[in-house]
Chains A and B, each alone.
Chain A
Amino acid sequence: MTVLANPLHHARPARPSALKVGAWLAAGLAILPLLAIVWLALTRPSATAMPLSLILRYGLTTAALGSLTAVAVTVLGTSAAWLVVMYRFPGRSLFSWALALPLAAPAFALAYGYADLLDVAGPIRTALRASFGSDFWPMEIRSLPGAAFVLSMAFYPYVYLTARSAFISQSVCALEASRTLGSTPWETLTRVALPLARPAIIAGTALALMEVFADYGAVSFLGVQTLTTGVVRAWSVYGAPGSAARLSLLLLAVAAVLLWQERSGRQGQSFGANSARWRPLEPQPLKGWASWGASLYCLSLISFGLFIPAGWLAYRGLSAAPEADRLIQAAMTSFSLAGMGALVTVSLAALIAFGAPHSHRIKRLASLGYATPGAVMAVGLLAPASLIWQGAGSGGSQTVALALGLLILAYAARLMASALGPIEAGLARVTPSMDRAARTLGETETGALRRVHVPIAKGALWTAALLVFVDVLKELPATLILRPFNFDTLAVLADRYASDERLAQAAWPTLLIVLTASLPIIILSRKIMQSRPGE
């Protein structure tokens, strides 16, 4: 064949795509701090090491806190989801998104609110003493059970959201089959719906637990010493990065287990999800006291999770004039950090979503970052950070910029996976053959990205940015460790006021965070409510 014997080379050898390389680099950024931790833990023997007994106590406290919270969030989140999906009662459609509202409040906001409200000198116990002559309040809020209560109220929405979507999308057909086979709603719950939704519920509980173990603000204020407060103390009190890194390793191991649980839970979600034949489930009307009971249950969850503590903080805050200058300064700092964090994180996540849409390995790396507590992430970036401090002395504007860069890197490494979720969901509309169609119509790889993927995923990119924005706003421990000197975000400012026992002052930045985060949370949760499987 003469054609073949005369190779006119317009073609060039196939090479790895630039996008894919970018995706690997982005995932690499997410685990860079984790690698640094392993390195620190192995290479920094510390003279001022924490005693082993202390580490053991931190570990046991963390385990107890995790167990209590896990049980509580699972029961609360699942029951609320079941009510909202299966029954009709007053306020149901409002509750179905409002139950996610506590996500707007950082856990430390609840801790401040409850600690003050239930203090010996607080209004409730004062009233009890006045009425009954003695103070028989059963539970000290500054305790392990108290912290478990606060964290359960803050984090039950994670289980609520996953359980709700599991109930709605997975088991509609099975639920109806069960009812036509003569099961009562209760039997349907225990025999069909719960077993079907179990993987999703476990995934939600794992997410909530990741938050519990990552929390610093609430537990430190309530005086409960967990591994995460231990990491921060090892760094700030003991000045021992090696010890901090070794504690971090423990937390990372826990995180890896949770991540594995969450992942296998999500794989399980796929069973029975035949989106083509999805039909809305007709909820059963509840009658009489049962319907008001259901409303009251949902209302009290939202109240305990947001309204009561935030309301009390607002009452306390209004009794004192805020230090306006510091507050405004901190708000500006918070918003610009959150904006930059969102931009960088979403860009990196998009790089992963676009560049390696089918690589599970890359996504697993990114989600490892998500499971990592912020304090741990910060410790992982301490080594480069301290080099910067030493190199530039103190103050110079370049040093500040570099430190801010590290802080944003910490946010990105931690939040990349949560941005990846919505982006991937948005890209589900782009089938592989659309990508190929663009290529056969003369577009290059990046051209197809610009003209097909990005426009289709535009809404999802904004959703992802909102999620990251809210999370950065609420973030405390990583900011506390990595921020340049005298560089306060709203969360840091609240923490500083609170640790000085100036709660009325702490209320102001806390409420600013809650209010700012509320709007995105309302938008996001309503969006989740409206979305249907298969869309």
Chain B
Amino acid sequence: MTTALTLDHVRKFYGAKAAVDGVSLILEAGKITCLLGPSGCGKSTLLRLIAGLEPLDGGTVATDHILSGPRSHLPPEQRDIGFVFQDYALFPHMSVEDNVAFGLKRLNPAERQKRALKQLQRVHLADRAKAFPQALSGGEQQRIALARALAREPALVLLDEPFSGLDAHLKAGVRDATLEALREAGTAALIVTHDAEEALMMADHLALMDQGKILQTGTPQDCYRCPVSLAAARLLGPTNHISVLVINGLADTGLGTLDATGLEDGPAIAILRPEALGIAADGVSAMVTSNRFAGAESWIGLRIDGASRLDLQARMPTGNSPPVGTHLSVILDPSACTVTPT
């Protein structure tokens, strides 16, 4: 593995509030890392710190040399880091081609144009080279912004909520085109998003962030299956959580026993993804309290009256989803559950 960028205990304060609070992260060359977190968690600030658009208050940002440190700050234009802005920030007074060629001033004009066109071809917009940004659709503008950032062949490109401004039906297409262009360029990418599905689909590596801190890093699969905390689990989608007692590395949820190896005996939290709940003959009796249609699958509210009352949300195929008021026999799929400390 080659490291493209290393963040070491990066801190940034706005007044007394820490926007970025001791973040350490390694970005691998040629890999796509998604930084997922709710709005205001500091993820966009972190991008600006990496790009050098703001000085940091502690820690270091380094490639093979230090970019930002306690007493040093390399200006953004000398960092070899591309940036795709949330509002794209295309220059309205320049044609698409000139926008893409903006960062190539060291090349001679002929070569500059050639490189710009090559970038435009990569995002399938070579035919719009002479157009002005205002004449393009949102999806096209996003691709131009990406082509512009990649034109300088940076070692790392940062994307700030790159799909947030797009209509839902455009998102999937633009997302695929973006992935394709990033893979082809072979650059490391850090994509900031608050959309869990987007992050899970795009990332080679995932970093979960909340309140200025990184909660968990890993592959999307690991983060989804084995969240380290309830907060981390919630970032990646809806969850059910049950207070449990760990005894000898096992936790009884009332629906079945989960493996809690490595946890000390005592109170803990069992995290159940909605798809962990299934219907089978030898399960626990549950009453259907709600049934919300959501296309191929439906959200089913379940109530289990055991030692204590449990209200859970399950996700089941719409085809045989049960009506409200009926009783089901419910079982637990342990592979979609985790036990974490409280």
Partner-B contacts on A (CB < 8 A): 1, 3-4, 7-14, 429, 431, 433-434, 436-445, 447, 451-452, 455-456
**Per-residue A-contact encoding for B50-79, CB less than 8 Å = 1, 0 else:** 011101000010111111110111111111
A10 to B69, CA, bound (A): 11
Tell me if B74 and A452 are in contact (CB < 8 A).
no
Tell me if B55 and A14 are in contact (CB < 8 A).
yes
8 pairs of residues in contact across A and B, judged by CB atoms under 8 Å = A3-B3, A10-B78, A11-B69, A429-B92, A442-B77, A443-B77, A447-B77, A456-B92
**Could you say which of A3, A10, A437, A438 contacts B74, with CB atoms under 8 Å apart?**
A10
A532 to nearest B CB, angstroms? 15
Tell me if B85 and A451 are in contact (CB < 8 A).
no
Q: Known: A4-B8, A4-B66, A442-B152. Is A437-B75 also a contact (CB below 8 A)?
A: no
Excluding A437-B83, A441-B77, 16 further A-B contacts by CB distance (< 8 Å) are A4-B62, A7-B65, A7-B66, A8-B66, A10-B66, A11-B66, A12-B72, A431-B89, A437-B89, A439-B75, A441-B103, A445-B75, A451-B102, A455-B93, A456-B92, A456-B93
- The verdict on B105 contacting chain A, using a C-beta distance below 8 Å, is yes
Tell me if B86 and A433 are in contact (CB < 8 A).
yes
A432 to nearest B CB, angstroms? 8
A438 to B148, CA, bound (A): 10
Nearest residue (CB) in A for B66 is: A7
A441 to B152, CA, bound (A): 7
Q: Known: A4-B60, A431-B87. Is A13-B102 also a contact (CB below 8 A)?
A: no
A429 to B53, CA, bound (A): 20
A10 to B80, CA, bound (A): 13
Complex A-B, nearest 8 residue pairs according to Cβ-Cβ distance, in ascending order? A441-B103, A11-B72, A8-B65, A433-B89, A433-B85, A11-B74, A439-B76, A440-B83
Tell me if A436 and B89 are in contact (CB < 8 A).
yes
- The verdict on B206 contacting chain A, using a C-beta distance below 8 Å, is no
Tell me if B75 and A436 are in contact (CB < 8 A).
no
**Most chain B C-beta atoms within 10 Å of own C-beta, residue among A9, A11, A440, A445:** A440
- The verdict on B298 contacting chain A, using a C-beta distance below 8 Å, is no
A451 to B104, CA, bound (A): 13
Residues of chain B with a CB closer than 8 A to A436's CB = 48, 51, 53, 76, 83, 85, 89
Tell me if B8 and A1 are in contact (CB < 8 A).
yes
Tell me if B102 and A438 are in contact (CB < 8 A).
yes
**Per-residue A-contact encoding for B81-124, CB less than 8 Å = 1, 0 else:** 11101111111110000000011010000000000000000000
Residues of chain B with a CB closer than 8 A to A8's CB = 64-66
- The verdict on B240 contacting chain A, using a C-beta distance below 8 Å, is no
Tell me if B76 and A440 are in contact (CB < 8 A).
yes
A390 to nearest B CB, angstroms? 49
Residues of chain A with a CB closer than 8 A to B73's CB = 11-14
Residues of chain A with a CB closer than 8 A to B72's CB = 7, 9, 11-13
A414 to B78, CA, bound (A): 40
A10 to B65, CA, bound (A): 8
Tell me if A433 and B87 are in contact (CB < 8 A).
yes
- The verdict on B337 contacting chain A, using a C-beta distance below 8 Å, is no
Residues of chain A with a CB closer than 8 A to B86's CB = 433
- The verdict on B23 contacting chain A, using a C-beta distance below 8 Å, is no
Tell me if B64 and A3 are in contact (CB < 8 A).
yes
Tell me if A3 and B89 are in contact (CB < 8 A).
no
Tell me if B92 and A442 are in contact (CB < 8 A).
no
**Per-residue A-contact encoding for B133-157, CB less than 8 Å = 1, 0 else:** 0000000000001001100100000
- The verdict on B178 contacting chain A, using a C-beta distance below 8 Å, is no
Tell me if A441 and B6 are in contact (CB < 8 A).
no
Residues of chain B with a CB closer than 8 A to A434's CB = 89-91
A450 to nearest B CB, angstroms? 11
Nearest residue (CB) in B for A14 is: B73
Tell me if A456 and B53 are in contact (CB < 8 A).
no
Tell me if A440 and B51 are in contact (CB < 8 A).
yes
Residues of chain A with a CB closer than 8 A to B69's CB = 7, 11
Interface residues of B in 32-54 (CB under 8 A from A): 48, 51-53
Nearest residue (CB) in A for B85 is: A433
Residues of chain A with a CB closer than 8 A to B68's CB = 11
Residues of chain B with a CB closer than 8 A to A445's CB = 75
A50 to B72, CA, bound (A): 61
**Could you say which of B6, B79, B92 contacts A3, with CB atoms under 8 Å apart?**
B6
**Per-residue A-contact encoding for B241-279, CB less than 8 Å = 1, 0 else:** 000000000000000000000000000000000000000
